[in-house]
């Protein structure tokens, strides 16, 4: 006597599909996490077959460098005064400085105060 077994409904164990790409890191600095996942669909378990074993989601630490600290700007030294614009009868001279000691960074405030000064010179009459 021949016995027929219907394999169409035999139990089929599940198997993992490929891992997804990593997600973007949850933070830009000071340590975040990123994830990737996979599905139990290559093939899916059927007819009483076993589920996939192992992790469905992987997490990984990322961007572990410390966040930069904001730094306010500081004035550099004044330049030398320019030559007076006149030899007599109220001339003018000027000097300037730059906000680069240090330059503001990572959201720090710019320097306060004047970046240029003017001064009267050679005020005697001609």
Mind spelling out the 3-state secondary structure of 53-121? CCCCEEEEEECCCCCCCCECCCCCCCCCCCCCCCCCCCEEEEEECCCCCCCCECCCCCCCCCCEEEEEE
Q: How confident is the model at residue 9 (pLDDT cuts 50, 70, 90)?
A: confident
Residue 1 confidence (pLDDT) above 80: no
- Please give the average per-residue pLDDT across 10-31, as a whole number: 96
**For residue 83, what is the domain's CATH number?**
2.20.100.10
Per the domain annotation, does 1 fall within a domain?
Answer: no
Per the domain annotation, does 8 fall within a domain?
Answer: no
Residues 52 and 25 in one domain: yes
Residues 32 and 57 in one domain: yes
User: Six-digit token pair at 3?
Assistant: 């016995």
Residue 6 confidence (pLDDT) above 80: no
Residues 109 and 86 in one domain: yes
Per the domain annotation, does 104 fall within a domain?
Answer: yes
pLDDT at res. 102: 97
Domain of 31 in residue numbering reads as 18-62
Collapse the DSSP code of 11 into the 3-class scheme (helix H, G, I; strand E, B; otherwise coil) and give the result.
coil
Predicted TM-score (pTM) of this structure: 0.50
Residue 44 confidence (pLDDT) above 90: yes
């Amino acid at each position: 006597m021949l016995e027929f077994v219907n394999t169409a409904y035999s139990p089929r164990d599940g198997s993992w599909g490929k891992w997804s790409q990593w997600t973007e890191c949850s933070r830009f600095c000071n340590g975040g996490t990123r994830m990737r996942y996979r599905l139990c669909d290559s093939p899916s378990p059927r007819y009483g077959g076993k589920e996939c074993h192992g992790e469905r989601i992987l997490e990984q630490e990322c961007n572990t460098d410390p966040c930069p600290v904001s730094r306010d700007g500081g004035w550099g030294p004044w330049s030398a005064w320019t030559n007076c614009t006149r030899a007599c009868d109220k001339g003018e001279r000027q000097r300037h400085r730059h906000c680069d000691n240090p330059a503001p960074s990572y959201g720090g405030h710019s320097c306060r105060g004047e970046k240029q000064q003017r001064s009267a010179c050679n005020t005697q009459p001609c």
